Structure 1
Amino acid sequence: MSQGLRARDQRGALRVLVKCKVKIRPLDLGMPFYGDCIDLSVTGMTVQTNYVPRPDEEFDIYVMPARTQGLAAEPFSARVQVRRCHQLEMQTLYELGLEIIQVHS
């Protein structure tokens, strides 16, 4: 990995590129929001959504696995904390950097 890339990416865990649907459940039990998980690691994930969280907000997230030959799989669910949020250029989507703080069983 080049020094320039390493300087920008300080995460210790390897990120895997994915394309999975997610459901966001704010803790105030309001309306759910939806989006796409674009990368995932053991410590966090990046999500694109129209939901705009508060700084350091915690919420529950459900990552829906891709269907494999018609087999249904349980979603991955976790409590996450917002580490970054920025609007994607010229879109109504936001990119959220999320830290996994608790995996639900």
Structure 2
Amino acid sequence: MGRSRQDQRSARRVPVSFRAKIRVEGGSYAFYGECTDLSVGGMTLRTSYVPRPNEEFEVYLLPPQIGKSVRPFSARVRVMRCHEIERNRLYEIGLATLEVLA
């Protein structure tokens, strides 16, 4: 049998739990969610935002507040997949990193 999509990835995904901010072009406000895994080539987010296929936007991963002021990681990303987790409430989005911004 063939390898699963997870096994075909070239970069190892690391489980994380970071608050994520999504900034959509032309949008007047941000969406929030949680980054559940991260790799060199992409990430997975869980959020209420429903993206279009292949949509591109900016994501900011907000570090935990542990006494130090740390700049958030930010990247321009492209939607590779989107699955509904909780009906009309929560979606899991697979993202490819196009450009690291900070």
Q: Which residue pairs with 2:48 in the alignment?
A: 50
Going from structure 1 to structure 2, the CA distance change for 1:91 and 1:29 (only over 3 Å counts) comes to closer
Residue 98 in structure 1 maps to residue 95 in structure 2: yes
Residue 22 in structure 1 maps to residue 20 in structure 2: yes
- Compute the TM-score of the two structures, normalised by the length of structure 1: 0.87
Q: Which residue pairs with 1:77 in the alignment?
A: 74
Residue 8 of structure 1 deviates from its aligned partner by: 3.3
Q: Which residue pairs with 2:36 in the alignment?
A: 38
User: What is the percent sequence identity of the aligned residues?
Assistant: 51
Residue 29 of structure 1 deviates from its aligned partner by: 3.3
Deviation digits for residues 16-62 of structure 1, max 9, x if unmatched? 10000010000113321000000000110000000000000000010
**More strand by percentage:** 2
Flag as ranges the 4+ runs of structure 1 deviating above 2 A. none
1:23 & 1:83 partners in 2: Cα distance? 18
Q: Which residue pairs with 1:86 in the alignment?
A: 83
Residue 66 of structure 1 deviates from its aligned partner by: 2.2
Structure 2: 5+ residue runs without aligned partners? none
2:53 & 2:28 partners in 1: Cα distance? 18
Going from structure 1 to structure 2, the CA distance change for 1:29 and 1:91 (only over 3 Å counts) comes to closer
Aligned pair count reads 101
Residue 90 of structure 1 deviates from its aligned partner by: 4.6
Q: Given residue 38 of structure 1, which amino acid in structure 2 is its aligned partner?
A: T
Q: CA RMSD in A?
A: 1.7
Residue 102 of structure 1 deviates from its aligned partner by: 0.6
